[in-house]
Amino acid sequence: MDSESLPAAGDSTEKSIEELSERTLQYWMTAVSTSLVSNSIMHELQNSISWKITKPLRVVRSLQLRAAQIGYRRAARLAVERLKRARLDKARDR
């Protein structure tokens, strides 16, 4: 094996890892949004520390995916509207 083939193999491995991560993320986002997972498992997952810590990352990733589909300006506008609704809902719940 020569040293010139190493970067290509590394690129391939990195791409495979990214694809696997994306598939895993999509699986869990679908499971969460469509209730494919039983309520007790979902409840345990959502109450875990890792779920709470990664919430901002999930929000950012979903915004990133949405922006790729509909454009950054429109996605940002929708995100602002969603945040406003969430604030209003939170204020009503108090």
Calculate mean pLDDT across residues 17-32.
Answer: 81
pLDDT score recorded for residue 1: 47
pTM of the model: 0.46
Residue 2 above 60 pLDDT?
A: no
Which CA distances in Å does 80 have to 29, 44, 53, 90?
Answer: 21, 30, 22, 15
* Token pair belonging to 25: 């993320």
Average pLDDT, the chain: 80
Asked if residues 43 and 49 have their Cβ atoms less than 8 Å apart, the reply is no
